[in-house]
Structure 1
């Protein structure tokens, strides 16, 4: 997901997207561990998306100061 799209979301929406993305990351890790993961590039992409969302949450909540 692009940062531009994420910036348009509210804090509640970002938290929902974060939960969904973390669940997806868990599924990817389990698929990798069992040898069923075909698209290995999705693991780092998902990790970076989670980092983007957490950064935006920090900015929007005002905890970055």
Structure 2
């Protein structure tokens, strides 16, 4: 999801998105530990999505949202 799409969401929606991404990250880590992960790039993609959500949440808290 692009950051412009994230900026259109409310804080509650962003927190829900963050929770979903954290659950996905946990699942990917478990797959990696059990050696059943087929696409290693998914871990990096989820980490970047989490960072995007954190960035937009910080912008909204500081009132810098574009």
Q: TM-score, normalised by structure 1?
A: 0.91
Report 1:35-50 matches (<5 A): 35-50=35-50
Report 1:14-33 matches (<5 A): 14-33=14-33
Equivalent position of 2:2 in the other structure? 2
Aligned length: 64
Corresponding residue SS for 1:23: helix
Corresponding residue SS for 1:16: helix
Once the two structures are superposed, residues 6-50 of structure 1 have per-residue CA deviations (whole angstroms, 9 ceiling, x without a partner) of 111000100000000000000000001100001111000100110
Cα distance in 1 for residues equivalent to 2:63 and 2:35: 40
Structure 1 stretches of 4+ moved >4 Å: none
Please provide the CA RMSD for this pair. Answer: 1.4
Q: Which segments of 5 or more consecutive residues in structure 2 lack a partner in the other structure?
A: none
Q: Which segments of 5 or more consecutive residues in structure 1 lack a partner in the other structure?
A: none
